[in-house]
Amino acid sequence: MTRLLLRHARLATFDGPTGWGLVDDGALLVDGGRIAWLGPDAGLPALQADAELDLHGALLTPGLIDAHTHLVYGGDRAAEFEQRLQGASYEEIARAGGGIRSTVAATRAASEAQLFTEAAARARALMRDGVTTIEVKSGYGLSEDAEARCLRVARRLGTELPITVRTTSLAAHALPHEYAGRADDYIDEACRWLAGQHAEGLVDAVDAFCDTIGFTPAQTRRVFDAARALGLPVKLHAEQLSNQHGAALAASYDALSCDHLEHLDGDGIAAMNAAGTVAMLLPGAFYFLRETKLPPVAALREAGVPIAIATDHSPGSSPALSLLLMLNMACTLFRLTPEEAWRGVTVNAARALGLADRGRLAVGLRADLVAWDAAHPRDIAYRFGHNPCQRVWCAGIETQPA
Ligand code: DI6
Ligand code: FE
C-alpha cells in the first residue's frame, strides 16, 4: 500500500453537519488506503510520499455511494415500458402477473455466470460516474436457491470489481406465482432462508417491500423479527405507492433507512427522526413511474432527518445507471439543494448503509476519492447528461475507467 500525495485540488470534504467543507487549494495524503492528512496545500507538513500527483485545481470529493440498487436480475422490462405508454399502470401490470414477476421468471432462468456478467456491466456503468460503493439487493429470485444465487452474484461484484458492495436480502419483494394467495406461507419460507444466507455470509442487511402490491406491515414485521434474531440491520421500501405506516414500523426496528417515502406522513417522519433512520429518496423511480405525489422533503428537512439519494436501479421502476443524473433529479424534481443532493450520495448514503468509514474526506476514513473536471460540486448537480468524472481511487488505489 503506497503513500500517495494528491496536491493542488479543490477539496469538498462534506465533513461537519452542513456545508461543502471546501478547501480551495488543498492537498490530501493517502496511506494504507486511508486518508492520513488533508488541508491547505500551503500548509503541507514535511512528509514522505511514494507518489505525488498535481491535480491542477480539479475538484476532489469522496467517492459516490449508490445505497439502493436492484442490480442483479435477468431480462428487462422494455415491453412493460411500452405497455405503460399505452395506458396500463405499474400496479395493473403487477396485479396481472407482469412487473416484478416477469423479471423473476427471467432471473430464475439465468445462470449465475449470466447474472454476474449483466450485473457487472451495470456496476461498471455506475463506476464511470465516480461510484465507489454500491448496495445490491436480491429480490428477483423469490426461491431459496435463486435468492442465494443473486446474493452470491452481488458478493462477487465486490470481490471482482474495484468497489465496495453491501448486500441486502429482499426476498419480501413480491409474492412468487407458486405462492399465489399464500403470502403468509411465503413469508415463513423467506424468513427461513435468511438463516442460511446469513450463515454463508451473503447478507449485510434485510429489506422488504411494504405496500399495496408488496407485503403487509404484519408480514414485514415477521421479516424484521427474523433479521433481528440474526443480528442483521433492516431497511424498508416504505410508503412508495400508499401509506402503510411502514416507515414507523421500520423505525421501531432502528432501520438504517426507509426508502421511496412519497406517501410518508408526520408520524413516520417523527419516528424516523427519533430512530436516526435515513430517508432514502429515489427520484429515478418517481420520474420513470411518473409519480405525482412528492416525498415530504420540507418536513424531512425541518425534522432534521438525514436525506440520501440513490438510483434505485431496477428493470421496472428505475432502469437508470447514472447517480450523477440522480443529483440533478433530486434538485429538479424533489427540490433538494445541490449541497443536500451531494450529501445524499456521500455522507448520508454511507449512513444509510451503516458505514462510518466513508462518505467524507477526513483523516482515518477510506481513501475513496473522485477527481472531477469541475470547479464546484454544484456545477455537477446543475448539469445533467454530463459526466465530468476524471479519476477514481478506491481505498487509495486508482481504478481504471470501467
Ligand atoms: N419498488 C420499486 O420501485 C422496485 N421494487 C420495489 O419494491 C421496482 C421493482 C421492479 O418493478 O422491478
Ligand atoms: Fe427499490
Task: Please list the ranges in the chain whose pLDDT falls under 70.
Answer: 1, 401-402
What is the pLDDT, as a whole number, of residue 332? Answer: 98
60 neighbors 50 (Cβ within 8 angstroms): no
Distance CA 223, CA 172 (A): 8
3-class DSSP assignment, residue 263: coil
Instruction: Give the number of the ligand closest to the Cα of residue 173.
Output: 1
Output b/e per residue, 115-153; b: 16+ Cβ within 10 A. Answer: bbebbbebbbbbbebbbbbbbbbbbbbbbeebbbbbbbb
What is the pLDDT, as a whole number, of residue 98? Answer: 85
- Dist. CA 145 → ligand 2 center (Å): 21
Best of 68, 69, 70, 212 to mutate for ligand 1, by most ligand atoms within 8 A of CB?
A: 70
What is the pLDDT, as a whole number, of residue 151? Answer: 98
3-class DSSP assignment, residue 307: strand
What is the pLDDT, as a whole number, of residue 21? Answer: 97
What is the pLDDT, as a whole number, of residue 402? Answer: 56
Dmax (CA) for the chain in angstroms is 70
Tell me the one-letter amino acid at 370: V
Distance CA 319, CA 305 (A): 27
Answer yes or no: is the C-beta of 103 below 6 A from any ligand 1 atom: yes
Answer yes or no: is the C-beta of 240 below 6 A from any ligand 1 atom: yes
CA-based angle 225:229:232, to the nearest 5?
90
Among residues 160, 133, 165, the alpha carbon closest in space to that of 393 is found at 133
Distance CA 345, CA 76 (A): 26
What's phi and psi for 94, nearest 5 deg? -65, -45
Q: Looking at the whole model, is its pTM more than 0.85?
A: yes
What is the pLDDT, as a whole number, of residue 92? Answer: 86
- Written as nine digits, the cell of 96 is 396481472
Distance CA 232, CA 195 (A): 10
By CB neighbour count within 10 A (0-12 exposed, 13-18 middle, 19+ buried), where does 383 fall? middle
Answer yes or no: is the C-beta of 285 below 6 A from any ligand 1 atom: yes
CA dist 357 → 21, 77, 107, 342 (Å): 17, 36, 33, 17
